[in-house]
Chains A and B, each alone.
Chain A
Amino acid sequence: MRDYFDLFNITKEQLKLLLDEALASGGDYADIFFEYSTGEVLALRDGEVNSIRNDIDFGAGVRVIRNGRTGYAYSESTDLRDLRAAAQAAARIANSPSERRKTAQIVPLKLKNYYPRSNESSDFNISSKKDYLKGIHTRLSEGDSRIIQIIGQSSCSLSKIIFINSLGEFYCDERPLASVVFSVIFTQGDITDNYTSSKSFRMGDEMFTPALADEIVGEILDAIPTVLEAIRPKGGEMAVVMGAGGSGILLHEAIGHAFEADFNRKGISIFSDKMGEQICSKSISIADDATIPSNRGSLNVDDEGVPGQKTMLITEGVLTSYLHDRISAQHYKVKPTGNGRRESFRFEPIPRMRATYMENGTATTEEIISGVSQGIYVDKFRNGQVQIGAGDFTFFVKSGRMIENGRLTRPIKDINIIGNGPKALADILEVASDGKMEDSTWTCGKGQQCPVSCGMPTVLVKSLTVGGNNQ
């Protein structure tokens, strides 16, 4: 902890002084978020690791809340004079100096560690990562002669954080995040196409294992012949079987955002008056979880001092909780759920997802597919979006297969799927027991960029609208 205070050149006494300053105009609550982030990206092009990017970001943000309203300012200097100016700027949200509160006694939070690092003292360095990327490149280029370009990238970042609030809650946290991304461009005859595989975890260099390289190489080499053979299906409404893993994007887009309580506090979410109601089949339970070890969406503690936890959004079909930050929790008179997240010290926290997944059902994948006479099976995705008020969500499918008479047939690709959140949820007819988390580099962009993840067992959605040809 001493190291953190030295890093930001600040003392506990000064922190308390700053919080008192932030509350001087009558704020109900104040917090300060110090962050020192370093990041390194190595890029492989033309068979060589020939560029590096390295970034340092340092500063502190001060937030003041008054009656659910937010004042926020940040400083890139932790000089006390600059921090006081930020505190004074944030304090402007309040205008009742006579109601001035005092900061409570400072008590460190006791936190679990969901991203333990196994080899912090390892000698895995830039040269090792170069070899790692080049190794994957070699295996890909030797693995399929149709590949004409390979682009690879490793990324590692580490954020060191001090947080303190006027309730006296205090923590230090160190958040690693690493990823590997490989894209290939391949050609056969007059067809040229691409495929990308990415993996990401809250880990450091220990992420770069031979097993992970095997997984990336295997996924890409398996995908190439399938993508080359793939077509666009006939579009329109049809049954969609969503494969285990990445199909969790359905949860993220169709319901996850609509469960973020800032949208519900404003009354604009299509789920804003559904708490406690049965909104889907009893076979469905959905969680948003910060506690999965080393998962990209995991957090020991959120960005406003609430310990990492698992939150059940839907339990046996009943809407049981929204995703809360402190402001929405106070509005709904519930405990915050640890979903107050921010992109960096430059932003105030808002309700955000972490790792969102559906729990297992009892069906098998084979049973589900065999019950579909005409539809599609989808398992790889690229991006998604939702209209919160209307509930209409979309996700872009990179690959899947047609289902004809209960059998997986021709591969399909590059289609968008659109549906309505509440209806799609109610239309989930079967849930398999093969749930798994998707470990790709999912980043959610709700005004601020936050790493997230998702997961899902195979499910059958009775009907969604599929983009495709009309012939």
Chain B
Amino acid sequence: MALDAGASNVRVILEKGRGDVVTILNGKIDRLYQAASSVLYFHIFAGGKYGTFSTNLMDEVTLRQFTANAVNATLLMTPDEHRSLPERELCYKGDGPDLQQYDPSIESRPSTRGIAIAQEVAAEMLSDGRVISAESEYGDYVEEHFIADSLGFEGYQRKSGFAIGATCSVGGKGDEKPERNWYEDEVFFDNLQYRGCGTKALNMALESIGPVKMPSGSYNMVVDRNIAAKLVMPLTKALKGSALHTRNSFLVDRLGEKVFGENVFLRDMPHTIGNASSRLFNIEGIATKERDIISGGTICNYFIDNYYSRKLSLAVTIGTPSVVIMPKNELLSNNKLSLSDILKRAERGIYVTQFNGGNCNAATGDFSYGIEGFLFNNGEITHPINEMLVSGNLIKLWNNLIVTADDQMKSRKWQIPSLCFSNVNFNGL
């Protein structure tokens, strides 16, 4: 239709999804939610002019009118010579492995299973009299993505997901009501470790009762694996073609340079089996492959999609990371380390378990985040802390990495272990 209407090339993406969610509040069903959606995207190329369009109205008459309007709107844009479909040799050829992202059992799941699981998790939290509110939520979904373009690329991906979350509020000192949560998600239902989620949320909330504020100063910082990705995401964002092109990146012009400590390694692993974020091709149809992002502190690759490849005269890599892992680093330790081990290694400092807001300046790498967590001394947690901030620069921070644990969660997109940094600037009293 788009070609008939005057487009020179077009990419079409059909996304379909369906899912169910049940929420249990204090032991009773609070919410049942059912979703089912389909969206059709068009990326229209018309003589260097470009537009993206989406609709969920898919009868043929409406679609024909929609695509005609889309092409007409695209033709009003100023041409950009760098807009085009990618070269065919870059595209996925259908020869990749089975990423094992779909659990067929989702089609025949018992309708009451989610309720029973969420109630079991809620019951774990309600076992303690100090609980003010216990909320658990179970959800499962199926997503399908089909991509086709006018030069012949076709790609299909189907994923299932099963997730359980627990949120627990407890009565604290005075008016405080600390709340903590825990979640697990998996592609295959049988891998979902839902038992114990409620207990984890409950224990985390209880442990955070009675926080104090520490004096401002320089501390060793251990960042929990649940939130460690927050310190990695600004790095990958700064390596994206869009940031490099606008020079709104503190890592511009630093490809091949050793910018971070020699113990810093990051790798994009798009073919990780059984991970929901794995993919054989990106939205442009470009085949993914495993790449080092940072190795020994040196920047190995930017994230360059087809458009920014042409714009920046750089080779295509991929526009965004898929599954980011921090591989085991023998420079830091030959042994398998737990969170407890790295707390001992750091001896004294602040163990950050939650970030509270904040931001990072993309152009400078300067960051400032609110934090909650614990003070530790002699490797042992002594008491909770809150209402503090951590501020600094990401380049300096990642030059101060002391050690990492081996506790990354394999189902996550960001498989970052608990991290330990030295001499980090905290603001408090």
Bound CA span A203–B15, Å: 31
Q: Does B52 contact A (CB under 8 A)?
A: yes
Residues of A within 8 A of B77 (CB): 49-52
CA distance A470 to B423 in the complex (A): 11
- On whether A193 and B364 interact (CB within 8 A), knowing A268-B133, A270-B176, A382-B359, the answer reads yes
Residues of A within 8 A of B76 (CB): 52, 126-127, 130
State the Cβ distance, A166 to closest chain B Cβ, in Å. Answer: 18
Closest to B252 in A: A192
- On whether the beta carbons of B176 and A390 are closer than 8 Å, the reply is yes
CA distance A236 to B49 in the complex (A): 51
Find residues 33-76 in chain A having any chain B CB closer than 8 Å to their own CB.
Answer: 40, 45-46, 48-59, 68-76
Q: Whole-angstrom distance from the CB of A256 to the nearest CB of chain B?
A: 14
Give the A interface residue count (CB, 8 A): 84
CA A409 to CA B304, docked complex, whole Å: 42
Counting contact residues on chain B (CB < 8 A from A), the size range is 35 or more
Q: Which residues of A contact B288 (CB under 8 A)?
A: none
Q: Are A415 and B368 in contact (CB under 8 A)?
A: yes
- Chain B binding surface SS class: strand
Contacts of A270 in B (CB 8 A): 175-177
Which of B35, B51, B175 meets A52, CB within 8 Å? Answer: B51
Among listed B87-95, B226-234, B326-334, B381-389, interface-contacting one: B381-389
Q: Shortest Cβ distance from A27 into chain B, in angstroms? A: 12
A235–B127 Cα gap in the complex (Å)? 42
Q: Say yes or no for A467: interface residue by CB 8 A criterion.
A: yes
Q: Are B54 and A388 in contact (CB under 8 A)?
A: no
B residues 340-360 with Cβ under 8 Å of A? 354, 356-359
User: Once bound together, how far apart are the Cα atoms of A237 and B428, in whole Å?
Assistant: 7
Contact mask for chain B residues 301-336; partner A; CB cutoff 8 A; 1 contact, 0 none: 000000000000000000000000000000000000
> Contact: B386 with A390, CB < 8 Å?
yes
Count chain B CB atoms within 10 A of each CB in A187, A232, A386, A467 and give the residue with the most: A467
CB atoms of B32 and A346 under 8 A apart: no
A465 to B79, alpha carbons, bound, how many Å?
A: 49
Interface members, chain A 165-201 (any B CB < 8 Å): 183, 185, 187, 192-194
B51 touches A418 (CB 8 A): no
- Chain B CB within 8 A of A384 CB: yes
A54 with B427: CB separation less than 8 A:
no
Question: Quick check: B66 and A394 within 8 Å, CB to CB?
Answer: no
Contact assessment for B368 and A396 in the assembled complex, using a CB-CB cutoff below 8 Å:
yes
The chain A residue with its CB closest to the CB of B51 is A52
What B residues does A185 contact at CB under 8 A?
Answer: 246-248, 363
- A427 beta carbon closer than 8 Å to chain B: no
Complex: A183 Cα to B247 Cα, angstroms: 12
Cβ-defined contact, A52 with B73, below 8 A:
yes
Is B28 in contact with chain A by the CB < 8 A criterion? yes
B425 and A469 contact, CB distance less than 8 A? yes
Q: Determine whether A420 belongs to the interface, using a CB cutoff of 8 Å to chain B.
A: yes
Query: Are B246 and A149 within 8 A (Cβ)?
Result: yes
Q: Which residues of A contact B389 (CB under 8 A)?
A: 235, 394, 416-418, 465-467
Q: Which residues of B contact A392 (CB under 8 A)?
A: 356, 370, 372, 386-387
Q: Separation in Å of the A261 CB from the closest CB of chain B?
A: 14
Q: Is A422 an interface residue (CB 8 A)?
A: yes
Q: Please tell me if B132 contacts chain A, counting CB pairs below 8 Å.
A: yes
Which residues in A have their C-beta under 8 angstroms from that of B245?
149
Interface residues of B in 378-423 (CB under 8 A from A): 386-391
A192/B247 in contact, CB under 8 A: yes
Q: Give residues 218-238 of B contacting A (CB, 8 Å).
A: 218
26 A-B residue pairings within 8 Å (CB atoms): A48-B78, A51-B52, A57-B56, A58-B55, A72-B32, A73-B34, A74-B35, A148-B247, A187-B247, A192-B363, A192-B364, A193-B364, A235-B391, A267-B177, A272-B177, A382-B359, A389-B169, A390-B178, A392-B386, A394-B358, A414-B368, A416-B368, A418-B356, A418-B357, A467-B391, A470-B216
Given contacts A69-B31, A149-B247, A193-B361, 8 further A-B contacts (CB under 8 A): A56-B55, A59-B56, A70-B33, A149-B248, A396-B357, A416-B369, A419-B387, A467-B427
